[in-house]
Amino acid sequence: MKLQEVINTVNELEPSTYSDERITSFINDVEMMILKLVVKPAKYYLFSRLTDQSEYDLPITIDYNNINSVFINNVYIPKVGLSHDEDLPGYRLSENGVFQIFPVVTNDSDSEDVKVVYKVKQDKLDFDTDKDRVLFLESPFDEMYHLYAMAKVNFYNKDFLAYNNFIDQYNDVLEAFKLETIRSEPLNKKSNKMINIW
């Protein structure tokens, strides 16, 4: 379902004086929450360590606080504090605010031996540019967009009875979505194979 279709449905079912931009912000709340629950987008940056160097400039797109993990030659290294023994593996932010990694090598690496895995921030929906954007949820769970937006409209209109009705319906669909997500997760599917334990 596209963003514009959700807005049209909300305006048809629950007419209000709220702008399409405001309705988009309500829909965005649902979209961002679902993406955080289901999608864990991550990227990585590879680089080579240099002789006697511990500090490295990361690309401007990588915020230190968004780093998930760091690997040297595919071996995980921990995040450490400023009092860390620099002969042991670890990474940290220096007192100068620069990314540091230990141990320091005595020869330049021949290959990109450091992998920094970081979270990617999701872009918020913008009514002007995202009208034709297809939203994440599919039927029957895409009803969450309508229910949440209509609940918010009623909340701000101080119609708390209607708000409670819509938010209860929204929560029911959200719970069903969570259960379906858990059921469909490959790690949670059980094999139906018979196993002879004798």
Identify the weakest region by mean pLDDT among 54-63, 79-88, 156-165: 54-63
Q: Is residue 189 one of the residues assigned to a domain?
A: no
**CB-CB contact of 56 with 105 (8 Å):** no
In this predicted model, what pLDDT tens digit does every residue of 107-121 receive, in sequence order? 887 777 899 998 876
Q: Is residue 156 one of the residues assigned to a domain?
A: yes
pTM for the complete prediction? 0.60
Instruction: Count the Cβ atoms, other than its own, within 10 Å of residue 180.
Output: 12
In this predicted model, what pLDDT tens digit does every residue of 4-21 receive, in sequence order? 999 999 999 998 899 999
Q: Is residue 133 one of the residues assigned to a domain?
A: no
Domain of 111, in residue numbers: 42-119
pLDDT band at 189 (very low <50, low <70, confident <90, very high): very low
Domain tally for the chain?
2
Q: Is the pLDDT of residue 192 over 70?
A: no
Confidence (pLDDT) at 191: 45
